Structure 1
Amino acid sequence: MKKNMAELIGTFALVLFGCGAAVISGVSPSGPSGIGLLGIAFAFGLAVVAMAYAIGPISGCHINPAITIAMMVAGKTTTKDGIGYIISQFIGALLGALALKIIANGKPDFTMQEWALGSNGWGDGYGGAYSMTSAFITETVLTFLFLMVIFGSTAKNASPAMAGLAIGITLVLIHLVAIPITGTSVNPARSFGPAVLAGGKALSQLWLFMIAPVLGGLIAALFWKGVFEKA
């Protein structure tokens, strides 16, 4: 229960800090303002760093179903723990998005537009209007690289004190590339919370952000286990 609660709180914080930075501080109706793309990227990355040191000793700080599934496949997380983690992550993400919606509603001119609350998406009207193929490849490849960093920085011969920082910085780099394409998911729970409350196109496109990150994580788990752990 402590592990599951830690995952819930960590995912709640990730969505509130990351998506909150995009919704509240990132842009305005007149165009880019405030912290901008770089600031949003750092908000997500720093949220992971903070949570890694806060709940890492309790649950390992997955706060991402793609990570949990990859860890299960790699034999680093039990199925029992993994299922509990994933359920807690989705609940935490939904609560984080709900908290963000309540806060944002306090602004007089706030409206729930398409892809609201920092939802992920693609195509006409979203970011750089990239295609579905570009979105799928981006999410799969970047999640693969994200998991490779996670496996490497948490390996037995790695420095455990630096793992949270390495993982957080990697997430910043991922956002710098993917924000114009998909808004950056690499995390099904992070996409789930905002999309459920936003509805519309965000919800109809959610499937990609459930499948692509998990696929990227699975490839990374099999690659790491089959190549590096056998080396």
Structure 2
Amino acid sequence: MKKLGAEFFGTFWLVLGGCGSAVLAAAFPGLGIGFAGVALAFGLTVLTMAYAVGHVSGAHFNPAVTVGLAAAGRVSWSTVPGYVVAQVLGGVAAAAVLYLIASGKADFVAGGFAANGFGEHSPGGYSLMAAFLCEVVLTAMFLAVILGVTHKNAPAGFAPLAIGLALTLIHLISIPVTNTSVNPARSTAVAFFAEPWALQQLWLFWLAPVLGGIAGAVIHRAFLSED
């Protein structure tokens, strides 16, 4: 239960901090942090919470990461369902809190509410295929980083920093394409509070990151692991 609690609160912080920066701070008149600020916010959420609870649960905060780690043999497949449920519930709880805060503004309109999309709902108008490829490749690279920096022979104590910076870089690349998912729990959480199209397109942001997570595990085991 402590592990599931750590995954719940870690994902809660990721969605509240990352999506909160997009909803509340990115476009604030005259002081907006822009998409570079949002990218940094997502990286900081993972970095800080990985240091805080990584020793408890491993600090996945992402169903694609959990599946990828299971595919790589780092965790048991039996842990996947519980972790995924905890992550999704933590994300939805954070999105609900964020919605209550954001709706306190007089002219609030939920709109996309930091949701992920493709086609006309992609920030840059990118196609379904472009969005799919982007999410698969970047999630695979994310898993490759995670598996590398958490290896027993990697320098101790630096894994959260490397993982947080990797997630920041991923957002810098892909916010224009999909608004960056690489995390089905993050996508699901805000989709419930956004316009209906977000739930209609949510399938892609489960399929692509999970496939990417498995691909990252396969790449690591085949080419990058010393084991």
TM-score by length of 2: 0.96
**How far apart are the structure 2 equivalents of 1:190 and 1:142?**
15
| Structure 1 equivalent of residue 182 of structure 2 | 186
1:111 corresponds to which residue? Answer: 109
Aligned counterpart, 2:24:
24
> Where do residues 12-51 of structure 1 align in structure 2 (5 Å cutoff)?
12-27=12-27, 34-51=32-49
- How far apart are residue 126 of structure 1 and its match? 3.4
Cα distance 1:139–1:33, how it changes in 2: closer, same or farther (>3 A)? Answer: farther
Match of 2:153 in 1: 157
Equivalence map 1:35-184=2 (5 Å): 35-113=33-111, 115-116=112-113, 118-184=114-180
For residues 25 and 126 of structure 1, the distance between their equivalents in structure 2, rounded to whole angstroms, comes to: 20
1:85 is matched by which residue type in structure 2? Y
Q: Return closer, same or farther for 1:139/1:11 CA change in 2, 3 Å cut-off.
A: same
| Cα distance between partner residues in 2 of 1:26 and 1:160 | 34
Which stretch shows the higher mean deviation, 198-207 or 1-10?
Answer: 198-207
Q: CA deviation at 1:183?
A: 0.4
- Structure 2: gaps (5+ residues): none
State the 1:199 CA deviation.
Answer: 4.3
CA distance in 2 between counterparts of 1:169 and 1:202 reads: 27
Matched, 1:207 2:195: no
Cα displacement string for residues 211-231 of structure 1 (whole angstroms, at most 9, x for unaligned residues): 001101101111212333366
Question: Which region of structure 1 is more displaced relative to structure 2, 32-41 or 129-138?
Answer: 32-41
Please give the alpha-carbon distance, in whole angstroms, between the structure 1 residues aligned to 2:119 and 2:92: 24
Q: Which residue of 2 aligns with 1:8?
A: 8
CA contact (8 A) 2:110 2:193 kept: no
- More deviation in 40-49 or 118-127? 118-127
SS at match of 1:149: helix
RMSD over aligned Cα atoms: 1.4
More displaced 10-residue stretch of structure 1: 52-61 or 79-88: 79-88
Taking the aligned partners of 1:172 and 1:111, their CA distance within structure 2 comes to 27
The Cα offsets for residues 139-194 of structure 1, whole Å up to 9 and x where unpaired, read as 00000111110000000100231000000001111000100110000000010000
**SS of equivalent to 1:197:** coil
Give the count of matched residue pairs.
227
User: For residues 36 and 51 of structure 2, what CA distance do their matches in structure 1 show?
Assistant: 23
Deviation at 1:33, TM superposition (A): 5.4
Q: Deviations over 1:44-100 (max 9, x none)?
A: 000000010011010010000000001111111112322211110010011111110
Corresponding position of 1:197: 193
Task: Give the Å deviation of 1:133.
Answer: 0.7
Identity %: 48
SS at match of 2:169: helix
